[in-house]
């Protein structure tokens, strides 16, 4: 029995390494050229009439400093939300407008460099998913965020966050 418990503990630890935690223990997506993207919500059960807030952060998983471009939320960031059948959730009118601003190598109104030391995190603004997606009560959803950048003089590539699953409940529950 003790060997089984030790084996399970070992496998749990190994799975965290492969899934990918940053230095704070938050789950993150796969490391690409030293950078990881981590998405979270404060609860996995949300109410349809309340803000549905997500937070995402970059994490430097390398042994050297990494610089990347930040230009607000949408010019280099995609939010993907799918229903239990893995079909994309319908965008709100604002969601359609925001999705059109995605342009990883395009012109930017605001653009600034962020440099992360090894193990350091950079948290991006919290975002209410209701602004972008038409979500229904009593439904489960799957969320990932993708950052893609092709601007010169910084990290270039495409990274996808960990996937989170959450449920939107009717406000009476």
Please name each of the domains of the chain with its CATH number: 22-169 (2.60.40.2970)
Q: What pLDDT, on a 0 to 100 scale, did the predictor assign at position 116?
A: 95
Report the pLDDT averaged over residues 71-92: 90
On average, the pLDDT of the chain sits at: 81
Nearest to 148 by CA among 137, 160, 136: 160
Element holding 4 (H helix, E strand):
helix 2-19
pLDDT tens for residues 108-161?
A: 667 788 999 999 999 987 888 999 999 988 899 999 999 998 877 889 999 999
- The position carrying tokens 């996937």 is 163
Rounded CA gap, 75 and 85, in Å? 28
Q: What pLDDT, on a 0 to 100 scale, did the predictor assign at position 113?
A: 84
Report the pLDDT averaged over residues 70-86: 87
Dihedral of CA 42/46/51/54: which sign?
positive
147 forms bridges with which residues in the sheet? Answer: 77, 159
Q: What pLDDT, on a 0 to 100 scale, did the predictor assign at position 171?
A: 67
Q: What pLDDT, on a 0 to 100 scale, did the predictor assign at position 6?
A: 43
């Amino acid at each position: 029995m003790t060997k089984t418990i030790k084996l399970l503990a070992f496998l749990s630890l190994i799975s965290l390494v492969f899934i990918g935690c940053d230095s704070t223990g938050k789950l993150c997506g796969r490391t690409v050229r030293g950078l990881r993207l981590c998405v979270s919500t404060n609860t996995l059960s949300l109410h349809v009439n309340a803000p549905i807030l997500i937070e995402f952060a970059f994490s430097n998983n390398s042994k050297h400093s990494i610089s990347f471009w930040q230009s607000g939320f949408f010019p280099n960031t995609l939010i993907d939300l799918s229903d239990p059948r893995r079909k994309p959730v319908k965008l709100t009118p604002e969601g359609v407008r925001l999705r059109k601003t995605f342009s990883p190598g395009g012109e930017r109104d605001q653009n600034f460099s962020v440099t992360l030391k090894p193990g350091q995190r950079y948290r991006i603004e919290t975002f209410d998913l209701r602004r972008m997606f038409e979500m229904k009560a009593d439904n489960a959803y799957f969320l990932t965020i993708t950052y893609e950048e092709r601007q010169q003089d910084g990290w270039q590539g495409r990274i996808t966050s960990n996937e989170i699953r959450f449920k939107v409940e009717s406000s009476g529950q």
